[in-house]
């Protein structure tokens, strides 16, 4: 079973991801603001989420891959060109 301190750190992750109930958000926000260790944890979680979202969220599949997959499906299923 997890200790409360482990749980609170994981709830910070859920807080960053907007995955907490409203009442828990208000309570946790106050705790984060008044505790340096929790604030650090919050910044780490937020910084990593932001870094990944900004760097990698919009890479498109190459056109040749679309064509290749659709062609293979057609061939495997004897579909007309």
Partner 1 sequence: MHTNINHKTDLELQKKYEDFQSEAIPHMDALYNFALKMTNDTDEADDLVQETFLRAFRFFDKFEKGTNAKAWLFSIMKNTFINEYRKTSREPNKVDYDDIQNFYENIKASEVKSQHIQEDAFSSLLDDEVSEAIVKLPEDFRTVIILSDIEGFTYDEIADFTDCPVGTVRSRLHRARKMLYSSLYSYGKDKGYIKEKTTK
Q: Which residues bind partner 1 (CB under 8 A)?
A: 9-14, 17, 19, 36-37, 40, 43-45, 47-49, 51-53, 55-57, 59-62, 65-66, 68-70, 72-74, 76-80
User: Residue 12 in contact with residue 38, Cβ under 8 Å?
Assistant: yes
Q: State the DSSP code for 61.
A: P
Residue 61 Cβ vs partner 1, minimum distance, rounded to whole Å: 4
Contacts of 32 (CB under 8 A, 6+ apart): 12, 15, 38, 39, 42
Cβ of residue 67: shortest distance to partner 1, in angstroms? 11
Give the nearest distance from C-beta 29 to partner 1 in angstroms.
17
């Amino acid at each position: 079973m997890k200790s409360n301190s482990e749980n609170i750190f994981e709830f910070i992750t859920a807080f960053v991801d907007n995955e907490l109930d409203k009442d828990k958000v208000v309570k946790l926000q106050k705790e984060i603001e008044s505790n340096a260790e929790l604030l650090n944890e919050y910044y780490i979680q937020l910084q990593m989420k932001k870094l990944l979202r900004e760097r990698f969220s919009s890479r498109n599949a190459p056109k040749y891959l679309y064509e290749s997959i659709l062609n293979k499906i057609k061939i495997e299923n004897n579909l007309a060109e």
